Amino acid sequence: MLLLRAVLLFLILPSHAENIPTEDPGVPILLPKGTCAGWMAGIPGHPGHNGTPGRDGRDGSPGEKGEKGDAGLVGPKGETGETGVTGAEGPRGFPGIPGRKGEPGEGAYVYRSAFSVGLENRVTVPNVPIRFTKIFYNQQNHYDGTTGKFHCNIPGLYYFSYHITVYMKDVKVSLFKNDKAMLFTYDQYQDKNVDQASGSVLLHLEVGDQVWLQVYGDGDHNGLYADNVNDSTFTGFLLYYDTN
């Protein structure tokens, strides 16, 4: 401020007023004699008004780099990727525990063959198959009650037996296989008595073979008998079937 006031005073004063001290404006200025007699210095004026604001300064230099900010929010889940390539086959595992025993199969039925029949009428005619018409068992129908013959449907070893009640006459019976007598039984009847005759045999049969009982001989040997308290029976069944 003092400097500004000094500059203004300097501009106002005439050019000859040189060598005026400016160190202290509050002190009366002593002018040289003979230049302006009787002039007296006035009092200093009031300070001027503030000037208009200056122009904006230039941009400053960039500041120092700030600290690293916090991590952002987690983004949405991406789409499922494609299926990968199938891996190599693993090593062979240990043997498992043995399974439970299975149920019997139905196929065993084809290897069943059995019959058991009885006499219902007295035999009157010799040299023909005896017809046993009282059926105890004939589920496979391999025995034919109309002819008295057993028909082999399964090749294998068969067991046959017969138990004959003998009454009033002697009995001569044979077990036939395809028109050939295989087994003979002869029982002589004793008066006022009831006798029994029996026989059994194992025979190997092929499919188509036939087995039956028949009275043999030319005489009157057909004393086979049956009633409510006496049976005469004929039985046969497959013991072993051929596996080959």
* Contact positions vs Ca ion (CB under 5 A): 187-188, 195
**Residue among 187 and 205 whose Cβ is closer to Ca ion:** 187
**Residue among 189 and 234 whose Cβ is closer to Ca ion:** 189
- Parallel, antiparallel, or unpaired for β 143-144 and 195-205? unpaired
**Residue among 35 and 188 whose Cβ is closer to Ca ion:** 188
**Residue among 151 and 169 whose Cβ is closer to Ca ion:** 169
CB 185 to Ca ion: min, Å: 11
Backbone angles phi and psi of 179, in degrees to 5: 70, 15
CB 118 to Ca ion: min, Å: 20
**Residue among 13 and 183 whose Cβ is closer to Ca ion:** 183
CB 178 to Ca ion: min, Å: 30
Residue carrying the six token digits 């029982």: 187
The two tokens of residue 108 are 């065993």
CB 110 to Ca ion: min, Å: 42
Spatial neighbors of 191 by CB under 8 A, at least 6 apart, are none
DSSP character at residue 44: P
CB 136 to Ca ion: min, Å: 25
Distance CA 130, CA 147 (A): 8
**Residue among 113 and 233 whose Cβ is closer to Ca ion:** 233
The two tokens of residue 16 are 């000859």
Distance CA 211, CA 159 (A): 11
The two tokens of residue 52 are 């208009």
CB 108 to Ca ion: min, Å: 42
CB 188 to Ca ion: min, Å: 5
**Residue among 132 and 167 whose Cβ is closer to Ca ion:** 167
**Which residue number places its CB atom closest to Ca ion?**
195
Q: What share of the chain is helix, strand, coil (3-state, %, to 5)?
A: 5, 30, 60
The answer to whether 226 touches 165, Cβ cutoff 8 Å, is: yes
